[in-house]
Amino acid sequence: MSISELLRLTARQQPAVEAIVDRGRRITYAEFDRAVDSIATGLLRMGLARADRAALWIPNHAEYLLVYLACLRAGIVVVPINIRLADDEVQYVLEHSGASVLFSIDEFQGQDFLARSLALKRRIAGLGRVIAVGGKSGPHHSEALAYDELLAATDSAAVREREEQAEDSELALIIYTSGTTGRPKGAMVSHGALRFYAGRAAAAGLFRRGDRILLMVPFATAAGSIIQTIPALHVGATLVLMEVFKAERSLEMIQSERITCLAGPPTIYILQLNVAGFERYDLSTLERVMVGAAPVTPELVAELSRRLAVQVVNAYGASETAGLVTWMPPDASVEQRTQTSGTPMPGYEIKIVDAGRRQVEPGTTGEIAVRGGSIMKGYFRDEEQTAKVLDNDGWWYSGDLGRIDTSGFLTIEGRQKEMYIRGGFNVYPAEVEAVLQQHPAILMSAVIGVPDPVLGEKGRAFVVLREGSRLTADQVREFCRAKIADYKLPDQVVFRASLPLSGLGKVQKSRLVEES
């Protein structure tokens, strides 16, 4: 069954409820459902077949959601593309995925995306059509189909027939990973995986009917296209879209749109908490704040809980898991809420394994492995990489480091590939970063290993100070000395005005490594 059935059901149950709020536009579930039928009709009339791939190069606009659900309804596989990617990166995704159609915003932030898209079309033999979203006139529009043309007619019967043919095992999405370890890999997510995750997230109370969710991360990430959007459709929540994340603007929107639920990486919350005049915003409608996508310090969870007076859920998930896989049980202690990422949601299993993939004792750090109904089918056109992370028993080996205590609570330690070895001792950057974040003058930090002829590798810390603060490298090291072993101390401290961030708001350590 197509995951788009969730939209049909919700549209019948609450047709007048707002589904999407986008820069002043307010679209009800009934309007959402009708527009999706119209766009799906246009896709069928274009001759797109089941399992064809459609790439979406659109920012956080309502049109992304409309096209996304229309593709799923028509049995077409969606390939999200981050609006921040360079043309060569986009070309790789288009060629590797075999996308036959590209939905492109016409203009965004002063850039002519349609011209870029048409140039890509001329270079890529399999890319048959570009569809311009946005409606602005220009010299390129004669070469592209206008999005509005897809809305010209609706054949609900034909669309319904295509929708009902969908099997749970069929692909819905190919989400390309960030590519921090080389070329991006396309995680294949099925309709059944999306349905499984939506049901578990709703049952766990991560998303609820009546929620107003501020989408602060790009749709082109799993956090946008899956983690928040799919459960929102399931419970009938309202998605309020941020075109581009700006910390001060996000607080204004929480206040004006009476937002109840947030989800995002730690960086987003750090930036929000440090907005000048934070206390003047009325954030009293917030009920739940989910934080994940990168290691989270106990101090940040405690500060969010205190200053927002809300339930904070430090959850774990990935593109390959097609959603979050942990939650915070209602009876969790304060320590468990602030220092762990919770326990597996019902329907998921998590274990910690050593280098030989043998399960280790509670409290021992190792690689996190996950099993459950939303795990990806594999990496698209990459059997070798798939075999490295998926075994025959359905376990996905994440490459993330963590430990599980005797009560089943998971603590994230960082990425295996980020670990460096200093003089024979393993150093996990997330552990050092957690200490750095405890310093009252430090806003953000990132630690990497750099080559050293004597020790093999040394630690280099990149530090962003809070406005008006001053620190020296020696003061940073001295602060850390009382909290971690001497071999974990950063050998070098580099002060910066900012850190490179991905579209999701995660620190891009690969860029720091390139600069080093």
Q: What is the pLDDT of residues 255-277, one digit of tens each?
A: 999 999 999 888 889 889 989 99
pLDDT at 336: 92
Q: What is the mean pLDDT of residues 41-62?
A: 96
User: What type of residue sits at position 302?
Assistant: A
Residue of higher predicted confidence among 423 and 232: 232
Across the chain, mean pLDDT equals 91
> What is the rounded distance in angstroms from the CA atom of residue 516 to the CA atom of residue 511?
9
pLDDT at 149 over 50: yes
Query: What are the tokens at 231?
Result: 């459960």
Q: Which range is least confidently modeled, 63-72, 107-116, 181-190, 278-287? A: 181-190
pLDDT at 58 over 90: yes
User: What type of residue sits at position 362?
Assistant: P
Q: What is the pLDDT of residues 424-451, one digit of tens each?
A: 677 878 888 988 999 999 999 999 999 8
CATH of 419-515, one of 3.30.300.30, 3.40.50.300, 3.40.50.1000, 3.90.1150.10: 3.30.300.30
Instruction: Answer for the pair 338, 305: CB distance below 8 angstroms, yes or no.
Output: yes
DSSP string, 398-428: EEEEEEE-TT--EEEEEEGGG-EEETTEEE-
> What is the rounded distance in angstroms from the CA atom of residue 304 to the CA atom of residue 270?
9
Query: What are the tokens at 425?
Result: 């001792």
User: What's the longest Cα–Cα distance across the chain?
Assistant: 71
Q: What is the pLDDT of residues 195-252, one digit of tens each?
A: 999 999 999 999 999 999 999 998 998 889 999 999 999 999 999 999 999 999 999 9
Q: Where residue 48 falls among pLDDT bands split at 50, 70, 90? A: very high
pLDDT at 413 over 90: no
Instruction: Answer for the pair 91, 183: CB distance below 8 angstroms, yes or no.
Output: no
Instruction: Answer for the pair 208, 235: CB distance below 8 angstroms, yes or no.
Output: yes
Dihedrals phi, psi of 267, to nearest 5 degrees: -55, -40
Calculate what percentage of the chain has a pLDDT beyond 70: 96
Query: What are the tokens at 509?
Result: 């350590």
pLDDT at 474 over 90: yes
> What is the rounded distance in angstroms from the CA atom of residue 57 to the CA atom of residue 83?
6
Calculate what percentage of the chain has a pLDDT beyond 90: 71
pLDDT at 108 over 80: yes
Give the β-pairing of 145-146 and 129-133: parallel
> What is the rounded distance in angstroms from the CA atom of residue 507 to the CA atom of residue 455?
26
* Contact partners, residue 133, CB within 8 Å, separation at least 6: 58, 61, 63, 67, 103, 104, 105, 106, 147
Q: 352 vs 334, 348, 399, CA distance in Å?
A: 24, 14, 11
Dihedrals phi, psi of 130, to nearest 5 degrees: -115, 130
pLDDT at 181 over 50: no
Q: Where residue 180 falls among pLDDT bands split at 50, 70, 90? A: very low
> What is the rounded distance in angstroms from the CA atom of residue 264 to the CA atom of residue 215?
9
Its CATH architecture, for the domain 193-415, is 3-Layer(aba) Sandwich (3.40)
Cβ burial 371-381 (10 Å sphere, 16+ → b, else e): bbbbbbbbbbe
DSSP string, 166-223: --TTSEEEEEEP--TTSS--EEEEEHHHHHHHHHHHHHTTSS-TT-EEEE-S-TTSHI
Of the CA atoms within 13 Å of residue 498, those in its CB half-sphere come to 7
Give the end-to-end CA distance of the chain in Å, rounded to a whole number: 49
Domain map of the chain by residue range? 5-12+23-166, 193-415, 419-515
pTM given for the model: 0.85
Q: What is the pLDDT of residues 2-39, one digit of tens each?
A: 899 999 999 999 999 999 999 999 999 999 999 999 99
CATH of 5-12+23-166, one of 3.20.20.70, 3.40.605.10, 3.40.50.300, 3.40.50.980: 3.40.50.980
pLDDT at 469 over 70: yes
Instruction: Answer for the pair 330, 426: CB distance below 8 angstroms, yes or no.
Output: no
Give the β-pairing of 378-379 and 366-372: unpaired
Domain 5-12+23-166 identical in fold to domain 193-415:
yes
